[in-house]
Amino acid sequence: MLCGVLVEYKLSYFLKKPQKTSLLVSRTWKILAEDEVLWYRLCQEEGYLLDMSISDHSCWKLALKNCRAREHMLKTNWKNRVGAVSQLHYEPGRVLCDVHCCDGVVMAGYSSGEVRLWDTRTWDYAAPVLAAVPGPAGAAALPHVSFVRINSSLAVAAHEDGTVSVWSLLLGREPIHHFQHNQHIQALALAPGGAAVATASGFQVRVESPDDRGFWQTPGTFEIQKLVNFLNLVPDVTGGPVAVAAAEDIVYLLKAEAPGRILHSVYGQPVTCLDVAAHEAAFGIKTFGWLLNEPNQILLYNLETNQCVTKVGNSIGDFSCVNLHSSPPNMLVAGNKDRRHPVRHVWFDSHSLITANIPEEKNPRGSSITEDDPSLHRKYRGVIYSYDFSVDQLAVDSVLPICRSSYDEVSGYNYNIGLAVPYDSI
């Protein structure tokens, strides 16, 4: 404000004496135009380089210019599908079972029972294996992985035999905690910013978390009348963990030491995917076609008011995944089930996108595969794609297989990726 007043004062003074002070005006404006404090504040106001101090750059005018140019290039590349695309490969003969991402780190579980990590932030696609907990005595091999989840500090995997393993990303490959369910695990959740883990087995939802001394305990269990299909923990919650569970056509809000509360229930419309943010939950519903005026959609609910905020999407195929937590405000991205392997996971930031196409069948019939058979056709395996839009180059096939649509369409898709907002907002 002080700088603005000073500029206004000097300008009014110079306008009164234009003939004598024209040179002084130009010189003064040049000094003001090169003021580092002004350019630094302008850069911060536009949302660039927020974690830097004024001494981190010698020319903030140039820094702002470069940031604007980079943002323009990213938006152009997103819209025109220009960039580099890579596949995160695993050895042949294994089927992809589940994928989850956090800040560009990808966690994948396979039919061999192994769990692997990739860090796409450094483009180092070496895939270290996380050591699994040994199975029951006499077991010839690890059961296949049912679910994987990862956040900034922990990684969790659930296997087909009911075993759940928890790793610390800071402490190495060996699990720091594991527990066993007597029945098949239908859903797994990990708090995005904490250490709480939730599992659904049978008709029970169980929450585990470490105390102040690092000892794991069970702060809450919930009995559900139906089998849970999807489970998420609400981020940024004070007090005990809060979970959202989808059981067939009912969505529950579960809080410790409180009875489960029904968030949504419509008979004959099962939930097909689920994700939550701090104050909202988004989930896909399937109509079975008997409601002719309501195609498959994604519903957005407010967790505080229990009210449906909006409905988005208009799809013949089932919505197979939705990302609400890591999306910008008032935006979400969804994957669809209208190809061979549905999109089961989507993660993105300003310059990259990660998608996972996961097969329905983890043990393909008629493929004659053995434990070390390298001949399993890739059409059975599933695939993980990593797209980098900060690379200003065309892919091998000239067009990245995503986000293809015209601007006059309400919504568009290609290869099962559809955006639920105008693309100019990306």
Distance CA 256, CA 188 (A): 17
pLDDT for 207 equals 92
Contact yes or no for 138/155 (Cβ under 8 A): no
pLDDT for 406 equals 41
Distance CA 28, CA 7 (A): 9
| Residue 384 structure tokens | 């993980």
Contact yes or no for 112/138 (Cβ under 8 A): no
Domain residue ranges in the chain: 266-362+394-426
pLDDT for 256 equals 76
Helices 60-80 and 36-45 cross at an angle (nearest 10°) of 30
Radius of gyration for the chain, computed over Cα atoms and rounded to the nearest angstrom: 26
Contact yes or no for 330/419 (Cβ under 8 A): no
Distance CA 93, CA 104 (A): 26
Contact yes or no for 301/251 (Cβ under 8 A): yes
pLDDT for 318 equals 86
* Phi and psi angles of residue 69, each rounded to the nearest 5 degrees, phi first: -65, -40
Q: What count of Cα atoms within 13 Å lies in the side-chain half-sphere of residue 40?
A: 12
pLDDT for 220 equals 84
* Phi and psi angles of residue 418, each rounded to the nearest 5 degrees, phi first: -130, 140
| Residue 170 structure tokens | 């800071």
**Strand runs (DSSP E) across 332-407, as ranges?**
333-337, 343-348, 352-357, 383-388
> What's CA 315's distance to the chain center, in Å?
21
pLDDT for 77 equals 86
pLDDT for 252 equals 95
Residues in the chain: 426
Of the candidates 420, 393, 188, the one whose C-alpha atom is nearest the C-alpha of residue 310 is: 420
Pairing of strands 250-255, 242-247: antiparallel
| Residue 334 structure tokens | 């969804």
DSSP conformational letter for 175: -
Distance CA 403, CA 413 (A): 6
Contact yes or no for 204/247 (Cβ under 8 A): no
Of the candidates 12, 14, 13, 10, the one whose C-alpha atom is nearest the C-alpha of residue 23 is: 14
Collect contacts of 48-55 with beta carbons under 8 A, ≥24 apart: none
User: pTM above the 0.85 mark?
Assistant: no
Tens of each residue's pLDDT in the chain, 426 residues: 333 333 333 434 444 455 555 555 677 777 777 788 888 999 989 889 888 888 888 898 899 999 999 999 998 888 877 888 888 877 666 889 999 999 889 999 998 888 999 888 876 556 677 887 665 544 567 888 999 999 999 999 999 999 999 999 888 788 999 899 988 999 999 998 888 999 999 899 999 988 888 889 888 889 988 999 999 999 988 777 899 999 999 999 998 777 778 999 988 899 999 999 989 999 999 886 555 567 888 999 999 999 999 998 887 788 988 989 888 888 888 888 765 778 888 888 888 889 888 888 877 655 444 444 555 566 678 889 888 888 876 655 444 555 444 434 444 444 444 444 433 333
